[in-house]
Amino acid sequence: MSPEVLVIFEGLFVVLVLASLAGWWLGRRRPSLAIENLNARIYSWWAMILVGGFAILLGQYGLVLFFALLSWFALREFSASDPLGSPGGWYFAVVPAQYLAIACGWQWVALLLIPLAGFAFGKQRWLGLLLCVCGLSFIPALGQAEWMLYLVLVVQASDVLQYLWGQMIGRHPVSARISPSKTIEGLVGGVVSASALGMWLHHLTPFGSMGSLLVALLITSAGFCSGLLLSAIKRKREIKDWGTAIAGHGGVLDRVDSLCLSAPLFYWILKAFA
């Protein structure tokens, strides 16, 4: 683990300790369903960061395995509500094939040919492969832990900050039909705040501070669109969450949905300009 990554994890540890203490204090002073939900999210973040940190310690192959498991769980949740029924074993075999290509360094095979082959499963199931498998596989394809950490931190921070801003000042829903809890105020506050974080973390990227600010604006906006797209699919299938694997967050796909489009965008930005 590089010194830069180690410092980030130390900072995350401090933030989580403070958040846990604040959640415990609020739970004792003003117990409510919202505080319980907040504490459940904090506990889940402890687990996710510890697992992510362990994956980084294992090196590139450990990260490939980590994201392969995330893709598998996400695709399983996406397929559980498939109106056509179970897609069968060949469908899920795309996951190890995709990540084996990433581990072997065959990025062009993994990022282009395998997703295109998903058309054989039909439009809806191809969309699941494109979002849950191909989209997430762009993260280990970045190749450097610093770049992966930057992407995940900025996009996930945007999700959290959109929720917090929305709870504090949210009034106008972005799309009352698709996701009434997402507000314009929360979107603007979360994207701007997370982009400021991206500018502060510019040392993890090949860009300067202003370049990182612009990149953060782009990937957080893509993350919001990705989440909204998957929310629309949930509404169409008449389900609230993709699963129950993560307390306070729903399923795995509920937690990583914003990365499904932002990861490919960040990858191609780096390829084009770095």
- At 84-93, the pLDDT tens digits run 777 777 788 8
Give the model's pLDDT for residue 44: 76
pLDDT in the model for residue 248: 57
Whole-number pLDDT of residue 140:
92
Q: Please name the helix (run of DSSP H) or strand (run of DSSP E) that holds residue 179, with its range, or none.
A: strand 179-183
pLDDT, residue 34, reads: 67
Q: Write down the mean pLDDT value for the chain.
A: 85
Residues 6+ apart with CB under 8 A from 236: none
Neighbours of 29 (CB within 10 A): 8
Q: Six-digit token pair at 225?
A: 């669109």
In this prediction, residue 141 carries a pLDDT of: 92
pLDDT score, position 167: 78
For residue 75, which of 56, 103, 94, 53 has the smallest C-alpha distance? 94
140/71 Cα distance (integer angstroms): 12
pLDDT at 183 (0 to 100)? 84
pLDDT at 216: 95
Report the pLDDT value the prediction gives residue 264, as an integer from 0 to 100: 93
Return the CA Rg of the chain.
Answer: 18
Look up residue 202 and give its DSSP letter.
G
Distance of CA 263 to the CA centre of its chain: 8
Concatenating the DSSP letter of every residue in 92-157 gives HTHHHHHHHHHHTT-HHIIIIIHHHHGGGG-HHHHHHIIIIIIIHHHHHHT--HHHHHHHHHHHHH
Q: What are the residue ranges in the chain where pLDDT is below 50?
A: none
0.75 surpassed by pTM? yes
